[in-house]
C-alpha cells in the first residue's frame, strides 16, 4: 500500500475475501474501506491483486480496484439518475 493511499485514508482496512494460488501465481479478491481525509466520506471498494512469484519473491503484481464506484462514493464522479452536485 502506498504512502499516498495511507495519507488520504489513514483508517483504511483491507479484508481478503478469497485467495487462490496455482503454480507461480497468487490471486487475492479483497474489499477495502475507510474514510477519505479530504472529503470525510466513508467508502468501500472491491479489488483484485495478482502476484507472480519466483523463489518466494514477487516478480510482478497487478492491482485492480473498482475506481468508478470509489469516485462516485467520494462525490467525484456522477451517479446515473442523480443530478450533479
Q: What are 12-23's pLDDT values in tens digits?
A: 999 999 999 999
- The CA distance from 74 to 39, in Å, is 7
Output the pLDDT for position 1: 59
Output the pLDDT for position 9: 92
What domains are defined for the chain? 3-67 (3.10.450.50)
- The CA distance from 40 to 8, in Å, is 10
CB-facing half-sphere around the CA of 71: CA atoms within 13 A:
9
Low-confidence ranges of the chain (pLDDT < 50): none
Output the pLDDT for position 80: 86
Output the pLDDT for position 33: 96
Report the predicted TM-score, pTM, of the whole model to 2 decimal places. Answer: 0.81
Decide: 52 and 60 in contact? Cβ < 8 Å.
yes
Output the pLDDT for position 4: 83
Amino acid at each position: 500500500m502506498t504512502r499516498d493511499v495511507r495519507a488520504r485514508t489513514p483508517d483504511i482496512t483491507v479484508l481478503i475475501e478469497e485467495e487462490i494460488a496455482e503454480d507461480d501465481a497468487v490471486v487475492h479478491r479483497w474489499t477495502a474501506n475507510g474514510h477519505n481525509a479530504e472529503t470525510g466520506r466513508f467508502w468501500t471498494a472491491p479489488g483484485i491483486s495478482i502476484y507472480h512469484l519466483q523463489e518466494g519473491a514477487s516478480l510482478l503484481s497487478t492491482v485492480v480496484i473498482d475506481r468508478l464506484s470509489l469516485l462516485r462514493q467520494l462525490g467525484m464522479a456522477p451517479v446515473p439518475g442523480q443530478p450533479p452536485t
